Structure 1
Amino acid sequence: MAKLNMVGKVIGRLVVLSPFNTSKPGRHWKCRCECGFETIQSTSKLNEAVKKGKNIGCKCAREASILKAAKAAVQILRKHGLNHSKLHWMYDNMMKRCYRPETNRYERYGGRGIGVCQEWSDDRSAFYTWALEQGWEVGLSIDRIDVDGDYTPTNCRFIPIERQASNTSRNRYLEWNGKRQTVSDWARELGVRPQALQHRVDRGWNLHRMFTQPFRRIHQ
């Protein structure tokens, strides 16, 4: 079988310079990006880029993609007179609570495995476009239909900010021994702080353990 030769091929932002010496020749290649940075790429990754038409490169390719998405997002906001709007703030906060552990509410989102779909996380403008198509306006807040699901176009909607307080994980319903009520109502019935019961919910305790393991009681 003839040896694979990719030298001289231009793939995305890269030009293949030479094979990269490894224990398995032909598996990796030394490439130079348009920006002048040299990088090592695998044969499989280069072939995938050719097949899917990816604009592969060094780290500058991702930076260029992010810049392009950011510019598109700004244009969308300007078109609708929303530059530096609450929609911009909404997107930033959605990303922070899912991916930045230092954020106050991270435990209730990213800490529970909740994330943002790739379409939105990769491209801010895609989120803006979806939001405007859904009729977003000032005074509306993003809400997940399934409070345990990710932020996705099919699991999100907009509701008045004042309604969102009644649709958070802290007010989710729990059913135990044939009775169904909110975390707050169960906490009152059990004589414990709502935060104590919610902590068990957030940690994924099963219902039996959640309701049978003793709490620290509230002192009257």
Structure 2
Amino acid sequence: MKVGRLTIVDALGSRDGHRMVACACECGARIEIRRSSVVSGHTMSCGCLKRDALIERQTIDNLSRDPRYFVLQNAVGRCFDTENPGYANYGGRGITVCDRWRFGEDGRTGAECFCDDMGERPSSGHSLDRKDNDGPYSPANCRWATRTEQQRNTRSNAIFFYSGADRCLAEISDLCGINYKTLVTRIRRGWSPSRAFSHPANR
């Protein structure tokens, strides 16, 4: 007879007025226990079931405090929550999150797989970036990137010739020392690129 992780393998007679049995547990342990505890379903393992549940709960709790957990949740929200402000630019145009990161794989949760695949976040200034802007959030298509790297990769990126090469505004901002938002404002107001990139910014 099997109940939970326990299989009754032998009858041991009575002890203190209770019928005793020997049980083999799926984890490999062998225990002696009251038969009524097993048959009623009150005891379903040698104790490993409770231990594994505690480990799983601690793992989930630890992950929920990991900043990478929120990075993944935000990506899932943008791709699948129609009420999310960013849905139109992500899920609305077919961007998805791979099943491995959503549902997990090989006994690991999606969050655990995500953390394993992406590794530690280099710094708080790095965020999740897709190499192919039309591709999914997946191990092969994602990386940790700085704001400059992401701006260089954005769909609506404007490219200008500066210092001998074609560059995005975020990169030019780093090179010329003028705030990125200031450069954007200047270009939108009709400034020529040469003036926008060379005119000193107000204090």
Shared fold by TM > 0.5?
Answer: no
Q: What TM-score bracket applies, with the shorter chain setting the length?
A: 0.3 to 0.5
- TM-score if structure 2 supplies the norm length? 0.43
- TM-score if structure 1 supplies the norm length? 0.40
